Amino acid sequence: MKKNIVILAVIVVAAYLVGVESGKSRDKNYEDLRHQIERLWTSPDARKGRKKLAKKVEKSIARATSGR
């Protein structure tokens, strides 16, 4: 489980760095990138995906703790 979290963190950092570099190469400023991320975060599809993922995590935690 810790290995998966580390892998996820590495992917997030890499994606951030790639996004920052692509923003610099296109002469976009921080505000443009922030607005894009905000739109992605508040999109209905993203919200549905986060809710679905949260339910899966809750079920996994419940299953893991009930076995002890």
Max CA separation in the chain (angstroms): 54
* Per-residue pLDDT tens digits for 52-67: 999 999 999 999 888 6
Average pLDDT of the chain is: 84
Nearest Cα residue to 37 out of 57, 54, 20, 14 = 20
pLDDT of residue 68: 58
* Per-residue pLDDT tens digits for 10-49: 999 999 988 877 766 666 677 787 888 899 889 999 999 9
Residue whose token pair is 């991320």 = 37
CB atoms within 10 A of CB 28: 15
Residue 29 one-letter amino acid: N
Q: State the pTM of this model.
A: 0.47
